[in-house]
Copies of this chain bind each other. A is one copy, B any other.
Amino acid sequence: MSPQHEMIDRPTLLLDKGRCLANIHRMAEICSQHSLSFRPHFKTHQSLEVGRWFRPYDVEKIAVSSVSMAEYFAEDWDDIMIAIPTNLRELARIDQLAKKCSLHILIEHSELIPILAKALHTSITVHIEIDAGYGRTGVDSTEIELIRSMIEGLSAKKNLRFGGFVIHNGHSYDARSVHEIRAIHHDSMDKLNELKHSFPEAHISLGDTPACSTALNFGLVDELRPGNFVFYDLTQLAIGSCQADDIAVAVACPIIAIYPDRHEIIVNAGGIHLSKDRLGIPGIGDIYGQLADMQGHHIGSLLKETYVKKLSQEHGTIHVPNPTDYRRGQLVYILPVHSCMVVDLMPYYLCAGERIEIFKHK
């Protein structure tokens, strides 16, 4: 146990600033090498302070996943994309916020255009979400005529400006190797190239961390919009997006019970701290985290053959190869399966002994 953590009595989210800065640096370099603009998605870290760590890379625009989050980040940022199809029940708040910053919103259907034109009194940039294979939201990339009519519809409204195409290839999360990520990305690039052929002037923003982290080229894409890369996690490690020592957050958890015969330790941290998001590991099954070493304020190596196998509300059951190495009251450090979800659950980061608040409005 790290001597820096003597005061920790509850599950606590630790942030390794060195790893996080390296992740930001690496993604900024990727954008620079490919001459892409960089609009980091802040839904993962949800923190004004962590957001400021992007400033040295001349980042001037961001993406978020809700109007509430946009309102929060508008304190620091002048150019914000709410990267989710527009919720028609929030138009009054969107209209208010557009007075304070350059606001970008998404649509995935033409029926929103007259509604937006009527409800919004401030000029706003509207992007069309394109589905390039994920199958969640967006206009199918092959629907050229529909897309053309939407662009024309937007251009006909004086308070709406067509901003370009936004793509999130979330199916890259099903990949389990760099090769598989690149295959999905390549397929998506083919679709976007056809789209660009029909709309050569349209700006294209691409989102997913796996492709942004590993692709060899980005075709006719103009902007990268990844979020998870700022911390990565065990899922990204399994996908092939990162290395184990890129993972920048860990949850410090007190041991409350030990069962040597079962090769299990029980920590006082459960689904309300680690989330119930899971990762399937061949030969083991679903896991909810894995232990790592801690060296001072720095996250160390993954501990082999350790995995969180079960979560209740406030209990976590961890398989360990050598249960006698542990004692009640000791802290262990769990790397999360999905960092975005864990950050959302926790009230603050502890970063080299300092508290960094996390946005807490839903």
Question: How long is the Cα–Cα vector from A310 to B134 in the complex, in angstroms?
Answer: 13
From known contacts A272-B344, A313-B340, A341-B313, infer whether A254 and B88 are also in contact, taking CB-CB under 8 Å: yes
Which chain B residues border A256 with CB–CB below 8 Å?
Answer: 84-88, 137
Which chain B residues border A272 with CB–CB below 8 Å?
Answer: 341, 344, 362
Interface residues of A in 8-54 (CB under 8 A from B): 8-11, 43
Which chain B residues border A111 with CB–CB below 8 Å?
Answer: 328
Question: How long is the Cα–Cα vector from A170 to B87 in the complex, in angstroms?
Answer: 39
Check if A88 sits within 8 Å of B314, measured CB to CB. Answer: no
Check if B276 sits within 8 Å of A68, measured CB to CB. Answer: no
Interface residues on A, range: 35 or more
Which chain B residues border A93 with CB–CB below 8 Å?
Answer: 9
Check if A276 sits within 8 Å of B273, measured CB to CB. Answer: no
Which chain B residues border A135 with CB–CB below 8 Å?
Answer: 262
- Contact digits for A76-109, partner B, Cβ 8 Å, 1 yes 0 no: 0000000011111110010000000000000011
Is A329 at the interface (CB under 8 A from chain B)? yes
Interface residues of A in 294-344 (CB under 8 A from B): 310, 312-315, 317, 328-329, 331, 340-341, 344
Contacts beyond the supplied A88-B328, A90-B254: 7 A-B pairs with Cβ under 8 Å: A9-B89, A10-B89, A85-B257, A109-B328, A136-B310, A137-B257, A272-B362
A-B contact pairs, 13 of them (CB 8 A): A9-B87, A10-B68, A65-B313, A65-B314, A66-B314, A88-B328, A89-B254, A137-B266, A276-B276, A276-B278, A345-B362, A347-B361, A360-B360
Instruction: Please name the 7 residue pairs, one residue from A and one from B, whose CB atoms are nearest each other, closest first.
Output: A88-B329, A9-B89, A276-B276, A85-B256, A276-B277, A272-B344, A65-B314
